[in-house]
Amino acid sequence: MSDRLSRADRRTLHRMDQQIIGLPLYMGNDPRPAAAHVRHLVHLLRSEQSASPCSDAVAHITAVFDRTVPEQATKMIACRKGCSYCCTQPVVVTAPEAFWVAAQLRKRPKVVAAIKEAAKSFGPLPLQERLNARQFCPMLEDALCTIYEGRPIGCRGFVSVDLQACLKMFDRGEVTDIPMPNDTVQVLYAARIILAVALRLTKLSAKVYEMNTLLAAIFAEENAEARWLAGEDLFASLEAGPPPPPQYDQAIESMAKYVTPTI
Ligand code: SF4
């Protein structure tokens, strides 16, 4: 006999989820609020009406991230408008994040061309060489991110409480641990786990790739998002980033088990 909830119970749960998904994410031990977001992402990723299900799903989880990071954590950071030292570092993204970014760039052929060039010239470089190259992200203009509201999860979460540490990386190319507010890191992990669980439950890959490399691969294909959502392994030839650490993977596994009967 299946553990799956009845259709009536799933409908009730769906109604309850609607009251949760517009709120900041509850960061305590109760898994139910995170489960509500996972179900919502699964629903968005499976949509047959949306022009970009990935954009809808990632826009949701990034909005959750933005409204969950506590104000005191934001007050601690040294990041300011016009400060862009970190935008020379490699950004890793999942495919849905890259589809979201790609959708924002369709009418910006110069940026698309710059991304393709970046993918060739510095996309594959290891961290140290990338820092030495000091190449800014193609989406940065006049020290401002031109997709700021729609930037990937990693860019949102990469904040610093110490400008000197950022300068050490930028000026001297030293690989340094950038100190971040603990609360921001916790929310970043929670957002990534929710997205990864939703991808697992929709049988989609949660692999991460260097952003320019993945974007260039997307721009090279017709209907890339629809084909990827249909299960085509479009990025098999790209080098993926390392898999999540075991602790993170366990959290994904246990949340996936918790949510499975409810979808
Ligand atoms: S997407 Fe925006 S925030 Fe992220 S590296 Fe590029 S310019 Fe910086």
- The full 3-state SS of 29-70, as one line of letters, equals CCCHHHHHHHHHHHHHHCCCCCCCHHHHHHHHHHHHHHHHCC
pLDDT range class, residue 262, cuts 50, 70, 90? very high
If you average pLDDT over residues 117-125, what whole number do you get?
A: 95
For residue 188, pLDDT over 60 is answered with yes
If you average pLDDT over residues 231-255, what whole number do you get?
A: 95
Three-state secondary-structure class, residue 21: coil
Specify the pLDDT at position 1: 53
Atom of ligand 1 nearest to the CA of 89: 5
For residue 18, pLDDT over 70 is answered with yes
Ligand 1 near 87 CB (within 6 A): yes
If you average pLDDT over residues 90-109, what whole number do you get?
A: 97
Nearest CA to ligand 1 atom 4: 155
Specify the pLDDT at position 105: 98
Which of 51, 103, 90 lies closest to 218, judged by CA?
103
Token pair belonging to 100: 């979201």
Specify the pLDDT at position 244: 86
Report how far ligand 1's centroid is from the alpha carbon of 98 (Å).
12
Specify the pLDDT at position 90: 95
For residue 3, pLDDT over 90 is answered with no
Atom of ligand 1 nearest to the CA of 84: 8
Atom of ligand 1 nearest to the CA of 137: 6
The structure tokens 């910006």 sit at 108
If you average pLDDT over residues 33-48, what whole number do you get?
A: 98
Phi-psi bin for 3: left (phi > 0), alpha (psi -120 to 50), beta?
A: alpha
pLDDT range class, residue 61, cuts 50, 70, 90? very high
Report how far ligand 1's centroid is from the alpha carbon of 134 (Å).
14
Ligand 1 near 105 CB (within 6 A): no
d(CA 255, CA 2): 18
For residue 231, pLDDT over 90 is answered with yes
Share of the chain above pLDDT 70, in %: 99
Specify the pLDDT at position 40: 98
| Long-range contacts, 87-90 (Cβ 8 Å, 24+) | 87/136, 87/137, 87/140, 87/145, 88/130, 88/131, 88/133, 88/134, 88/135, 88/136, 88/137, 88/170, 89/127, 89/130, 89/131, 89/158, 89/169, 90/125, 90/127, 90/130, 90/210, 90/211
If you average pLDDT over residues 29-39, what whole number do you get?
A: 97
For residue 62, pLDDT over 80 is answered with yes
d(CA 102, CA 71): 30
Ligand 1 near 145 CB (within 6 A): yes
- Probe ligand 1: pick from 151, 160, 211, 213, max atoms within 8 Å of CB? 151
Please state at what angle helix 95-104 crosses helix 53-68, rounded to 10 degrees.
100
Report how far ligand 1's centroid is from the alpha carbon of 68 (Å).
21
Ligand 1 near 115 CB (within 6 A): no
pLDDT range class, residue 214, cuts 50, 70, 90? very high
Distances (CA, A) of 190 to 31, 178, 227, 252: 11, 20, 28, 10
Q: Under a CB-based contact definition with an 8 Å cutoff, are residues 112 and 146 in contact? A: no
Ligand 1 near 77 CB (within 6 A): no
Q: Under a CB-based contact definition with an 8 Å cutoff, are residues 198 and 102 in contact? A: no
Nearest CA to ligand 1 atom 5: 87
For residue 2, pLDDT over 80 is answered with no
